[in-house]
Chain A
Amino acid sequence: GAVVSQHPSWVICKSGTSVKIECRSLDFQATTMFWYRQFPKQSLMLMATSNEGSKATYEQGVEKDKFLINHASLTLSTLTVTSAHPEDSSFYICSARDLSGRDNEQFFGPGTRLTVL
Chain B
Amino acid sequence: KQEVTQIPAALSVPEGENLVLNCSFTDSAIYNLQWFRQDPGKGLTSLLLIQSSQREQTSGRLNASLDKSSGRSTLYIAASQPGDSATYLCAASPSGSARQLTFGSGTQLTVLP
Q: Which residues of chain A have a CB within 8 Å of any CB of chain B?
A: 1, 6, 32, 34, 42-46, 49, 57, 91, 93, 95, 97, 102-111, 113
A32 CB to nearest B CB, Å: 8
CA–CA, A95 and B32, complex, Å: 16
Q: Which residues of B contact A49 (CB under 8 A)?
A: 98, 100
Q: Which residue of A has the minimal Cβ distance to B4? A: A43
Given A43-B89, A44-B44, A108-B45, 19 other A-B contacts at CB below 8 A? A43-B103, A44-B89, A46-B100, A46-B101, A46-B102, A91-B41, A93-B43, A95-B44, A97-B99, A102-B49, A103-B31, A104-B93, A104-B99, A105-B46, A108-B44, A109-B43, A111-B41, A111-B42, A111-B43
Which residue among A34, A44, A103, A105 has the maximum number of chain B CB atoms within 10 Å of its CB? A44
Interface size class of B (residues with CB under 8 A): 20 to 34
Q: In chain A, what residue has the closest Cβ to B98?
A: A49
Interface residues of B in 1-58 (CB under 8 A from A): 31-32, 34, 36, 41-46, 49
Give the nearest-CB partner of A97 in chain B. B99
Question: Which residues of chain A come closer than 8 Å to B42, judged between CB atoms?
Answer: 110-111
Assess the B43–A43 pair: CB atoms within 8 A. Answer: no
If over half of B's interface residues share one DSSP class (helix, strand or loop), that class is named, otherwise mixed; here it is strand
CB distance from A78 to the nearest CB of B (A): 17
Closest B residue by C-beta to A42: B105
Q: Could you name 28 residue pairs across A and B whose Cβ atoms are closer than 8 Å?
A: A1-B46, A6-B43, A34-B100, A42-B105, A43-B89, A43-B105, A44-B89, A46-B100, A49-B98, A49-B100, A57-B98, A91-B41, A102-B49, A104-B32, A104-B99, A105-B32, A105-B46, A106-B34, A106-B101, A107-B46, A108-B44, A108-B45, A109-B43, A110-B42, A110-B43, A111-B42, A111-B43, A113-B41
